[in-house]
Structure 1
Amino acid sequence: MFILGIISEPLLYLCFSLLIGSFTLRLVPSAYRPDINVPKGVLMTATAGIAIFSFIPVLQLIFFLQQGIGFGQTFQSVLFTFEVGKAWIFTYILTNLLFIFIVWFDYRKKPFYSYIGILFTFLLILALGWSSHASSIEQWKGFLAHTLHYLAVTLWVGILFIVSWFSKNHANWLNFLKWFTPVAMICFLITALSGLFLMSIVIDFNDYANAWILPYGQALLIKHLLIIPLLAYAFINSILMRKRLRNNERFNPIPWTKFESVIVFLIFAVTAVLGQQSPPHDIETTVASSGVSRLFDLIYQGNITRDLEIVLDVGMGSAMLLILGLSFLGLTILSYIKKAPPLLSFLMSVLCVVTGYLTLMVSIQ
């Protein structure tokens, strides 16, 4: 079930992103976006995927509680008495309605159909926020924060995914960047602020470094490090890309946006790992119940205790790694400037994350 949860969550993000990105771009005038063709089958698959992948947390809870009660009774109890079960029933009904709507109506023909598609998708995001961990702890605050977070992420990433993988050409790309760049910046700001609030629900900011001894803390750290190359790609695909397209309209920016979308999917994958770990409301208690991160245990050479206080001290080794990491970050951008293949830039960004991670681990005293 652990592996199933890790696989299902990034795919759930992807399904929502495909839906909201497709419907939103159809509302944009054709002069302000490239030519896009998202087959109905893709949206139908994404809609079915939401129903299936959003059920995985419900199934995990059923398997966790079924001992001594039986699967059938537990299934009924979770589905009709737990908030996560009720939210999934609502999700299942909505996905069926949306699936039928996509089959019967072609959203590509009339903008009104896209508005209806966006409404369905928004209601599904509300259902997801209703069943979230944050909502169960902070109720309305958690519900609103999780909903805003998910909506901002899927809108920004959905548009990025669609133009990267379903564009027939790169026509009108400069016009596309004029509106997408500010939209992406606003979505990123909302994502960052709501993400900080959601993080504060499960972990004290003062314990951020101390949580690295836990699997949850390790996943959270890697997720945050992946944001660095994401911002580098955002800089390339907005600021630098605009300048190049003005000088050379034939230049194809799509391979670069594709690698940005890969970085985003990696963040989704790490987020899924994060969601399968025990949140460190109390680090000492969590260490006693779930143990220390194997990755941290592999790298850290000191004595690991429940009350380990992590202090960072930049020595010669960590300083060299920091310089190396910053060099890889610079090479990520320089690869684009020097017209190197996008794959080289992507490899530099991955090495930037790896060296950044090692810098922090080596700095621990």
Structure 2
Amino acid sequence: MVIIANTVLFIALALFIGIHILEAISGDQRPTLRIPKFLLPALAIAMIVFSFIPIGLIAEQTAAISSEPFISVLGSSLFEFAIGQGFVAFVCFLVIVFVGRFTLKGPGKGRSLLLLPILGMILATSWSSHAASLSDQGYIFDVLHTTSALSWTGVLLIASFFSIGEDHWFRFFQWFTPFAITMVLLLFVSGIGMLMFITPEYTNSWLLPYGQWQLLKHLLFIPIVFYGFAHGFIMKKRLTDPMKYGNKRKPRFSLQMESIVLVIVFVVTAIMTEQEPPHEVAETLEFTEVSGLASQMIATDLLSGEMVLWTPNIPAILLAGSAITILLFFIYSIGTSRPFWFAPIYIALFIMTGYTTLMIGADVETIAEDTPEDLSTEPIEVEVLNDSEATVGDEWTLQVEVTQEDTPVEDADDVIFEVWHDEDEQSIMIDGEHTGNGIYEAAYQFREASTYYVQPHMTARGMHRMPVHEVDVIDE
């Protein structure tokens, strides 16, 4: 249910953004649009309903566990949880957009002002993302990623499915091509940034369902980029000479196909939101099963010190060559008068060959780490020093003591405290600081009665430990 809700939300928000971007563009710089009057209100209702569904499900589950009234739990979910706070802010910005539309009736430059509250809607949507729960940088990357993806897709969807006539396509491509290139660059940069936070072990993540879906998403992105190249350069060049441009409906149909591929990416992204993110793959596999395809083609497990590596072999090289050839045919089919349905065939073939190329060359190998002779190989010990009981509102100093052979470890590479509780699936990540004698600390305040879990992620001297400490927080 959540996957469907997220998919519909992404599509509705993309359409909503696309309408407002194109309305801010001069009429002679885009194809003539025929947008039904009911579409914007319908999109608004869809966005509210489908963004509320995950909150309602969380509140329902929490109420069933705690035996508290649903309305009471729902109120807490809306105003105390990140996902609820984001929803409230999202609705507020949506109302501002419609008030602005009423104020700025008719065409004009003022329409571009509506993009500001729409940006607020994106900021609110990203507030409860997994990347945002990890760090402020993760939130920024998620905002950039979401903004570029929705803006690019929204313009394509509206221009291709709601345009009439064949006028102004050349002028449309003149501004849309640099716009699309900018969005692609933002997607690429923000995507790399999010990978650093969510999937630092990229190839290892292929063993998990999350990594498999992420790989599919990235493979889909490649033909989308080539789609943009063909539209922005080859097709635009053909539009300059009407005598060569035999099929006048081709830009719209071809853009529709590109839009559909982007919508498929939205579906994959929605599925990923319900998968376990692979921060530490070997540890994630302790409570998550290996993906079915990965277990057949790579391995059934991943031990500490092992890593999934891709190494070229003859079958993989041949398949890679086939994938590149398919992309070349794909570009040719878009830039010429070939039937528009050739493109999805080439995309499907590329996905299959590209995926098989990566899976055939992937294998688990043991990574030998250089260990200085004077560095002990004995395991590090991580002990949480906090009590197991606390009171709502308490200002706590989260503490862990790190030792090795009863000697304080004062040179840890990375210390992060992860905190979550039973009523909130979103965890909070807090950087720890060394205060001396192997003690690492971070400040935290318990805001509601629940069972909290404190999990320090400790990396030191080539080892990683992440014990879980339970704290019962009660009201006085």
Same fold (TM over 0.5): yes
Distance 1:64 1:218, change over 3 A: farther
- The CA deviation at 1:60 is 4.2
- The CA deviation at 1:111 is 2.7
Q: Using the alignment, how far apart are the partners of 1:298 and 1:131 within structure 2?
A: 35
Distance 1:138 1:347, change over 3 A: same
- Give the letter for the 2:202 counterpart: Y
Which ranges in structure 2 are unaligned for 5 or more consecutive residues?
364-476
Tell me the residue number matched to 2:380: none
Rg bigger for which structure?
A: 2
- The CA deviation at 1:264 is 0.6
Taking structure 1 as the reference length, the TM-score comes to 0.90
Taking structure 2 as the reference length, the TM-score comes to 0.70
* Alignment partner of 2:199 out of 196, 199, 203: 203
Matched, 1:5 2:11: no
Q: Using the alignment, how far apart are the partners of 1:56 and 1:38 within structure 2?
A: 27
Structure number with higher relative contact order (C-alpha < 8 Å, ≥ 6 residues apart): 1
Maintained 8 Å contact 2:231/2:334:
no
Matched, 1:156 2:152: yes
Tell me the residue number matched to 1:213: 207
Alignment of 1:1-365 (within 5 A): 4-63=1-60, 65-70=62-67, 72=70, 73-96=72-95, 98=97, 109-111=106-108, 114-139=111-136, 141-204=137-200, 207-248=201-242, 251-252=248-249, 253-300=251-298, 302-307=299-304, 308-365=306-363
Q: The residue matched to 2:33 in structure 1 has which SS?
A: coil
Q: Using the alignment, how far apart are the partners of 1:165 and 1:264 within structure 2?
A: 14
Q: Using the alignment, how far apart are the partners of 1:115 and 1:48 within structure 2?
A: 23
- Give the letter for the 2:141 counterpart: A
Maintained 8 Å contact 1:145/1:197:
yes
Q: Deviations over 1:93-123 (max 9, x none)?
A: 4435545766x5785x233663354233222
Q: Using the alignment, how far apart are the partners of 2:104 and 2:42 within structure 1?
A: 15
- The CA deviation at 1:155 is 1.6
Count of equivalent residues: 356
- The CA deviation at 1:75 is 2.4
Maintained 8 Å contact 1:202/1:281:
yes
- The CA deviation at 1:149 is 1.9
Which ranges in structure 1 are unaligned for 5 or more consecutive residues?
none
Q: Deviations over 1:50-85 (max 9, x none)?
A: 212222332343355445303614323222211221
Q: The residue matched to 1:289 in structure 2 has which SS?
A: coil
- Give the letter for the 1:178 counterpart: Q
Q: Using the alignment, how far apart are the partners of 1:358 and 1:229 within structure 2?
A: 16
Q: Using the alignment, how far apart are the partners of 1:200 and 1:56 within structure 2?
A: 30
Maintained 8 Å contact 1:226/1:263:
yes
Structure having the larger proportion of residues in helix = 1
Which aligned runs of 4 or more in structure 1 are off by greater than 6 angstroms? none
Structure having the larger proportion of residues in strand = 2
Q: Using the alignment, how far apart are the partners of 1:338 and 1:126 within structure 2?
A: 40
- The CA deviation at 1:153 is 1.6
Percent identical among aligned pairs is: 28
Q: Using the alignment, how far apart are the partners of 1:152 and 1:313 within structure 2?
A: 33
Q: Using the alignment, how far apart are the partners of 2:45 and 2:97 within structure 1?
A: 9
Q: Using the alignment, how far apart are the partners of 2:127 and 2:185 within structure 1?
A: 22
Maintained 8 Å contact 2:199/2:279:
yes
